Amino acid sequence: MKLRHIAMAIGCSLLLAGCLPVTSTTPVGTTAGLGADEALYGTWIGRAEDQPDRDKNDKGRGTLYLHFLPAKSQDTPTITGVWVISGSDKGDSELNLYELRTAKLGGNNFIDVLKLIAVDKEAKADASQDNGLNGGAIPLLYKFGKHHTLMLYLLDEDKVKAAIAAGKIAGTVEKGDFGDVIITADAAALDAFFATPESATLFKLFVVLHKAE
């Protein structure tokens, strides 16, 4: 899988109707207090050969850089995520900016993607447009691994649908194969569920990154 295709899982999600990943009407971790995990700060690099579901026939052109920058104001515990793909071929480059906050629930660490400003010339939205989620978020699970690695996980749509159907978490599923899946639980119920080990099983590996030395 080319790295620019990996980026589309979030990049186009806030820009194009019908390709949203699972969202939540309330950011995960609100009751615990949203903040900015300083362990994320710095530059992380994604190598094509390390990514899940990579096409073995893909030459893997392009390198992903994800910069986590602290907010300028210490009174605002947010992180600016700068997602850059540097490619050698036309169409292999991309730049997006995200507003992020982090939370810890139980043994799980979460990033809430709250807002996106697209700068990619191929994105079908005005580059100056501020794309928010109306107070909601795209939840990501993150884990630190050996050798200064960072793994980001997105919610698996089918698993979340099953959890909603089983009454484990409140949510809505739009009709059709491409209908959006939205978690609608209130803050207390949402955080109680995502503090459990079971909640981590609803996520799938999205991207693997290595800390720049």
- pLDDT at position 4 is 46
- pLDDT at position 126 is 47
Is pLDDT of 81 > 90? yes
Asked if 68 and 75 count as a contact pair (C-beta separation under 8 A), the reply is no
Alpha-carbon distance of 115 to 24, in angstroms, equals 13
Residue 93 carries which DSSP code?
-
Q: What rounded mean pLDDT belongs to the chain?
A: 81
Pairing label, strands 138-145, 108-118:
antiparallel
Banded pLDDT at 119 (limits 50, 70, 90): low
Span 17-29, pLDDT tens digits: 345 789 999 999 9
How many C-beta neighbours within 10 Å does residue 37 have? 19
**Residue 37 C-alpha from the chain's centroid:** 15
Pairing label, strands 181-183, 138-145:
unpaired
- pLDDT at position 1 is 39
Is pLDDT of 178 > 50? yes
Span 23-58, pLDDT tens digits: 999 999 999 999 999 999 999 998 777 777 665 555
- Mean pLDDT calculated for residue range 105-125: 77
Banded pLDDT at 13 (limits 50, 70, 90): very low
Helix (H, G, I), strand (E, B), or coil: what is residue 125?
coil
Is pLDDT of 127 > 50? no
